[in-house]
Structures are given as structure tokens and as C-alpha cells.
Amino acid sequence: MNTLTIKIPPQLEAAVAAASAQDHLSKSELVRRALERYLQQRTSRAPFVSALDRAGDLVGCFQGGPADLSSNPEHLSGFGRS
């Protein structure tokens, strides 16, 4: 088995020590299990998909309307009022 040395803050070391004592595991075994679980979850997650990827077919599909719709505040007067 290989050795990996890491630096962790005192609070994290205390939490690892407490958890290893509570679970009756060595700190190395506790960290190994946590790291394995993290890596399994990371690979099983759905890949990131941006909003552009999800709605890419809609981008640029609207024809017409004012050219300054997104920048002219006059187009928003009364918006949200009944």
C-alpha cells in the first residue's frame, strides 16, 4: 500500500480522530473509506450540462421584436403590474 501525506487544519484532524475512535477504525482506514466514497459519488454524478446546452436549440430562434429589448427600460414599464 502506498503512503500519502496531507496537511489538514486542527479542527479537521480532531474530527477525524473522534470519528475514528467512535467507529473503532484507524484514522488511515477512515480517510481511505471517505476518499473512496467521495470518488465513487463523483464518478456516478451526471455530468455538468450548461443552460446553453439544454436550451441550445432555442437560442436565436426568435425573429422580430425590438432590437433593444434587453437594454431599453421603456420596454419594461408596467411589467409585473396587473
Is the pLDDT reported for residue 82 higher than 80? no
Closest CA to 20 of 7, 40, 34, 9: 34
Query: What grid cell was written down for 52?
Result: 446553453
Average pLDDT over every residue of 7-14: 96
- What's the CA gap between 48 and 28, in Å, rounded? 32
CB 55 within 8 A of CB 62: no
Average pLDDT, the chain: 89
Average pLDDT over every residue of 49-56: 87
Those residues with Cβ within 8 angstroms of residue 30's Cβ, 6 or more apart along the chain or in another chain: 16, 19, 20, 23
Query: What grid cell was written down for 73?
Result: 427600460
Is the pLDDT reported for residue 61 higher than 90? no
Selected residue with higher pLDDT from 82 and 71: 71
Selected residue with higher pLDDT from 12 and 67: 12
- Give the pLDDT score at 68: 86
Residue type, 32: R
